Protein backbone atom coordinates (compact mmCIF):
# COMPACT_ATOMS: atom_id res chain seq x y z
CA UNK A 1 0.00 0.00 0.00
CA UNK A 2 1.04 3.60 0.30
CA UNK A 3 1.47 6.54 -1.96
CA UNK A 4 4.57 5.78 -3.93
CA UNK A 5 7.89 6.92 -2.65
CA UNK A 6 10.12 5.04 -5.04
CA UNK A 7 12.42 2.11 -4.56
CA UNK A 8 10.68 -0.35 -6.87
CA UNK A 9 11.89 0.55 -10.36
CA UNK A 10 13.51 -2.30 -12.26
CA UNK A 11 15.13 -2.63 -15.67
CA UNK A 12 13.80 -5.88 -17.15
CA UNK A 13 16.42 -5.85 -19.89
CA UNK A 14 19.31 -5.73 -17.43
CA UNK A 15 18.17 -8.52 -15.17
CA UNK A 16 19.01 -6.34 -12.18
CA UNK A 17 16.52 -6.01 -9.35
CA UNK A 18 16.75 -3.89 -6.22
CA UNK A 19 17.39 -5.87 -3.05
CA UNK A 20 16.28 -5.29 0.52
CA UNK A 21 19.34 -3.09 1.06
CA UNK A 22 18.24 -0.85 -1.81
CA UNK A 23 14.83 -0.39 -0.22
CA UNK A 24 16.58 0.38 3.05
CA UNK A 25 18.66 3.07 1.36
CA UNK A 26 15.53 4.69 -0.07
CA UNK A 27 13.81 4.65 3.33
CA UNK A 28 16.90 6.21 4.89
CA UNK A 29 17.01 8.84 2.15
CA UNK A 30 13.44 9.87 2.96
CA UNK A 31 14.32 10.02 6.66
CA UNK A 32 17.25 12.34 5.92
CA UNK A 33 15.47 14.42 3.29
CA UNK A 34 14.97 18.15 3.66
CA UNK A 35 12.10 20.19 2.19
CA UNK A 36 12.86 22.19 -0.96
CA UNK A 37 13.71 25.87 -0.47
CA UNK A 38 10.69 28.00 0.38
CA UNK A 39 9.22 29.54 -2.72
CA UNK A 40 10.83 27.03 -5.10
CA UNK A 41 7.68 26.32 -7.08
CA UNK A 42 9.40 23.93 -9.48
CA UNK A 43 10.46 21.73 -6.57
CA UNK A 44 7.19 22.14 -4.71
CA UNK A 45 8.71 24.41 -2.09
CA UNK A 46 6.85 26.76 0.13
CA UNK A 47 4.25 24.37 1.51
CA UNK A 48 6.44 21.98 3.47
CA UNK A 49 4.43 18.96 2.30
CA UNK A 50 7.52 17.00 1.23
CA UNK A 51 8.91 17.28 4.74
CA UNK A 52 5.54 16.53 6.35
CA UNK A 53 4.95 13.48 4.19
CA UNK A 54 8.35 11.83 4.42
CA UNK A 55 7.23 9.43 7.16
CA UNK A 56 4.35 8.22 5.00
CA UNK A 57 6.64 7.98 1.97
CA UNK A 58 9.26 6.05 3.93
CA UNK A 59 6.55 3.74 5.21
CA UNK A 60 5.26 3.18 1.68
CA UNK A 61 8.71 1.90 0.68
CA UNK A 62 8.69 -0.49 3.66
CA UNK A 63 5.21 -1.64 2.64
CA UNK A 64 6.49 -2.31 -0.89
CA UNK A 65 9.33 -4.39 0.57
CA UNK A 66 6.87 -6.33 2.74
CA UNK A 67 4.72 -6.97 -0.32
CA UNK A 68 7.72 -8.30 -2.25
CA UNK A 69 8.58 -10.72 0.54
CA UNK A 70 4.95 -11.79 0.96
CA UNK A 71 4.79 -12.58 -2.76
CA UNK A 72 7.63 -15.07 -2.39
CA UNK A 73 10.86 -13.10 -2.81
CA UNK A 74 12.76 -14.47 0.17
CA UNK A 75 15.69 -12.08 -0.27
CA UNK A 76 13.34 -9.14 0.35
CA UNK A 77 12.80 -9.87 4.04
CA UNK A 78 12.53 -6.66 6.10
CA UNK A 79 14.74 -6.20 9.15
CA UNK A 80 14.55 -4.03 12.26
CA UNK A 81 16.78 -1.52 10.46
CA UNK A 82 14.06 -0.88 7.85
CA UNK A 83 11.45 -0.30 10.56
CA UNK A 84 13.74 1.89 12.65
CA UNK A 85 14.52 4.04 9.60
CA UNK A 86 10.79 4.68 9.18
CA UNK A 87 10.64 5.70 12.85
CA UNK A 88 13.52 8.07 12.17
CA UNK A 89 11.61 9.65 9.29
CA UNK A 90 8.61 10.20 11.57
CA UNK A 91 10.79 11.63 14.33
CA UNK A 92 12.18 14.21 11.93
CA UNK A 93 8.88 15.42 10.50
CA UNK A 94 7.67 18.79 11.82
CA UNK A 95 4.98 18.52 14.51
CA UNK A 96 1.55 18.60 12.90
CA UNK A 97 0.18 20.76 15.70
CA UNK A 98 2.46 23.72 14.90
CA UNK A 99 1.79 23.88 11.15
CA UNK A 100 0.68 27.31 10.06
CA UNK A 101 -1.73 25.97 7.44
CA UNK A 102 -4.38 23.31 7.62
CA UNK A 103 -3.56 20.03 5.91
CA UNK A 104 -5.86 17.17 5.06
CA UNK A 105 -4.13 13.88 5.81
CA UNK A 106 -5.20 11.10 3.48
CA UNK A 107 -5.16 7.43 4.37
CA UNK A 108 -2.97 4.98 2.51
CA UNK A 109 -4.25 2.21 0.25
CA UNK A 110 -4.89 -0.02 3.26
CA UNK A 111 -6.82 2.64 5.17
CA UNK A 112 -4.03 3.51 7.60
CA UNK A 113 -3.57 7.06 8.87
CA UNK A 114 -0.54 8.84 7.41
CA UNK A 115 0.27 11.51 9.99
CA UNK A 116 3.88 11.18 11.18
CA UNK A 117 2.84 9.98 14.63
CA UNK A 118 0.34 7.45 13.26
CA UNK A 119 3.05 6.08 10.98
CA UNK A 120 5.49 5.87 13.89
CA UNK A 121 2.96 4.16 16.17
CA UNK A 122 1.99 1.52 13.61
CA UNK A 123 5.59 0.88 12.62
CA UNK A 124 6.79 0.58 16.21
CA UNK A 125 3.99 -1.83 17.13
CA UNK A 126 4.88 -4.05 14.15
CA UNK A 127 8.59 -3.88 15.00
CA UNK A 128 7.97 -4.88 18.61
CA UNK A 129 5.27 -7.51 18.03
CA UNK A 130 6.67 -8.95 14.76
CA UNK A 131 3.27 -10.21 13.52
CA UNK A 132 4.71 -11.52 10.24
CA UNK A 133 7.46 -13.55 11.90
CA UNK A 134 10.42 -11.69 10.40
CA UNK A 135 12.53 -12.32 13.54
CA UNK A 136 12.74 -8.57 14.06
CA UNK A 137 15.13 -7.48 16.80
CA UNK A 138 14.62 -3.86 17.86
CA UNK A 139 17.61 -2.31 19.60
CA UNK A 140 18.52 0.83 21.52
CA UNK A 141 18.21 2.92 18.37
CA UNK A 142 14.67 1.65 17.81
CA UNK A 143 13.54 2.54 21.32
CA UNK A 144 15.30 5.91 21.50
CA UNK A 145 13.98 6.93 18.07
CA UNK A 146 10.41 6.07 19.05
CA UNK A 147 10.83 8.11 22.24
CA UNK A 148 11.98 10.98 20.03
CA UNK A 149 8.89 10.60 17.84
CA UNK A 150 6.66 10.76 20.92
CA UNK A 151 8.45 13.90 22.10
CA UNK A 152 8.03 15.52 18.70
CA UNK A 153 4.41 14.70 17.98
CA UNK A 154 2.59 14.36 21.32
CA UNK A 155 2.32 17.66 23.24
CA UNK A 156 3.59 17.59 26.82
CA UNK A 157 0.05 17.84 28.19
CA UNK A 158 -1.37 15.08 25.95
CA UNK A 159 -2.74 12.25 28.14
CA UNK A 160 -1.18 9.58 25.91
CA UNK A 161 2.34 10.95 26.24
CA UNK A 162 3.28 9.56 29.69
CA UNK A 163 1.60 6.26 28.83
CA UNK A 164 3.60 5.81 25.62
CA UNK A 165 6.85 6.96 27.23
CA UNK A 166 6.44 4.38 30.00
CA UNK A 167 5.50 1.67 27.49
CA UNK A 168 8.53 2.28 25.27
CA UNK A 169 10.93 2.51 28.20
CA UNK A 170 9.53 -0.72 29.64
CA UNK A 171 10.08 -2.39 26.25
CA UNK A 172 13.70 -1.21 26.22
CA UNK A 173 14.20 -2.51 29.77
CA UNK A 174 12.73 -5.91 28.97
CA UNK A 175 14.91 -6.19 25.84
CA UNK A 176 18.04 -5.17 27.75
CA UNK A 177 18.74 -2.17 25.54
CA UNK A 178 18.70 0.79 27.94
CA UNK A 179 21.76 2.71 26.74
CA UNK A 180 22.69 6.39 26.87
CA UNK A 181 20.48 7.27 23.90
CA UNK A 182 17.42 5.73 25.58
CA UNK A 183 18.12 7.54 28.87
CA UNK A 184 18.68 10.84 27.06
CA UNK A 185 15.49 10.56 25.02
CA UNK A 186 13.56 9.44 28.10
CA UNK A 187 14.59 12.64 29.87
CA UNK A 188 13.41 14.68 26.90
CA UNK A 189 10.11 12.84 26.61
CA UNK A 190 9.24 13.00 30.32
CA UNK A 191 9.76 15.68 32.97
CA UNK A 192 13.18 15.18 34.55
CA UNK A 193 11.82 14.22 37.96
CA UNK A 194 9.50 11.64 36.39
CA UNK A 195 12.30 10.22 34.25
CA UNK A 196 14.61 10.00 37.24
CA UNK A 197 11.97 8.13 39.24
CA UNK A 198 11.67 5.65 36.38
CA UNK A 199 15.45 5.19 36.35
CA UNK A 200 15.56 4.75 40.13
CA UNK A 201 13.39 1.66 39.72
CA UNK A 202 16.47 -0.06 38.29
CA UNK A 203 19.09 0.91 40.85
CA UNK A 204 18.36 -1.93 43.28
CA UNK A 205 18.57 -0.15 46.61
CA UNK A 206 21.95 1.53 46.08
CA UNK A 207 22.53 5.12 47.11
CA UNK A 208 23.24 7.12 43.96
CA UNK A 209 23.53 10.76 43.11
CA UNK A 210 21.06 11.97 40.51
CA UNK A 211 21.30 12.62 37.66
CA UNK A 212 23.04 9.38 36.75
CA UNK A 213 26.53 9.56 35.29
CA UNK A 214 26.49 6.09 33.75
CA UNK A 215 24.08 3.31 32.95
CA UNK A 216 26.38 1.01 34.95
CA UNK A 217 24.33 1.94 38.04
CA UNK A 218 21.21 0.41 36.51
CA UNK A 219 19.96 -3.14 36.83
CA UNK A 220 22.12 -5.34 34.59
CA UNK A 221 19.01 -6.86 33.07
CA UNK A 222 18.07 -3.47 31.64
CA UNK A 223 21.49 -2.98 30.02
CA UNK A 224 22.57 -6.55 29.28
CA UNK A 225 22.69 -6.05 25.50
CA UNK A 226 24.62 -2.75 25.59
CA UNK A 227 28.34 -3.35 24.86
CA UNK A 228 30.25 -3.06 28.12
CA UNK A 229 33.40 -1.62 26.63
CA UNK A 230 31.82 1.27 24.74
CA UNK A 231 31.73 4.34 26.97
CA UNK A 232 29.81 6.28 24.30
CA UNK A 233 26.85 4.00 24.96
CA UNK A 234 27.24 3.89 28.74
CA UNK A 235 28.42 7.31 30.01
CA UNK A 236 25.57 9.85 30.31
CA UNK A 237 26.52 13.41 29.26
CA UNK A 238 26.47 15.86 32.15
CA UNK A 239 24.76 18.52 30.03
CA UNK A 240 21.77 16.28 29.24
CA UNK A 241 18.62 18.35 29.79
CA UNK A 242 15.07 17.14 30.25
CA UNK A 243 12.05 18.22 28.28
CA UNK A 244 10.22 19.69 31.25
CA UNK A 245 9.91 19.55 35.00
CA UNK A 246 12.64 19.84 37.59
CA UNK A 247 16.28 18.90 37.31
CA UNK A 248 15.77 16.02 39.71
CA UNK A 249 19.01 16.63 41.63
CA UNK A 250 20.03 15.15 44.93
CA UNK A 251 20.31 11.58 46.03
CA UNK A 252 17.86 8.78 45.53
CA UNK A 253 17.42 5.18 46.51
CA UNK A 254 16.26 2.71 43.91
CA UNK A 255 13.31 0.48 44.56
CA UNK A 256 14.87 -2.50 42.82
CA UNK A 257 12.02 -3.80 40.66
CA UNK A 258 14.37 -5.99 38.70
CA UNK A 259 15.20 -6.33 35.05
CA UNK A 260 11.97 -7.60 33.61
CA UNK A 261 10.28 -4.18 33.37
Number of alpha helices (DSSP H) and beta strands (DSSP E) in the chain: 11, 2
Q: What is the mean pLDDT of residues 140-150?
A: 98
pLDDT at 110 exceeding the cut of 50: yes
pLDDT at 119 exceeding the cut of 90: yes
Domain ranges of the chain: 1-138
Please name which of 177, 186, 179, 86 lies closest in space to residue 139, comparing C-alpha atoms.
177
Q: What is the pLDDT of residue 247?
A: 34
- Using a CB cutoff of 8 Å and minimum separation of 24, what contacts does 70-74 make? 70/132
Q: Is the whole-model pTM more than 0.85?
A: no
The string of pLDDT tens digits covering residues 200-214 is 998 877 777 888 899
Count CB neighbours of 87 within 10 A: 29
Amino acid sequence: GGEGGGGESEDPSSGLKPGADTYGAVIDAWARSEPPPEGDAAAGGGEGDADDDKAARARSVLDALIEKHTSGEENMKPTAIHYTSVLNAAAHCPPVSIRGTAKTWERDDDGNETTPYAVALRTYDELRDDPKGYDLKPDSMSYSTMLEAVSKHLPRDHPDRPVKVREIFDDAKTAGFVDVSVVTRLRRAAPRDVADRMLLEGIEGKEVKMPLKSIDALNEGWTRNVPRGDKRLRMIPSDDEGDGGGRGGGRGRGRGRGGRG
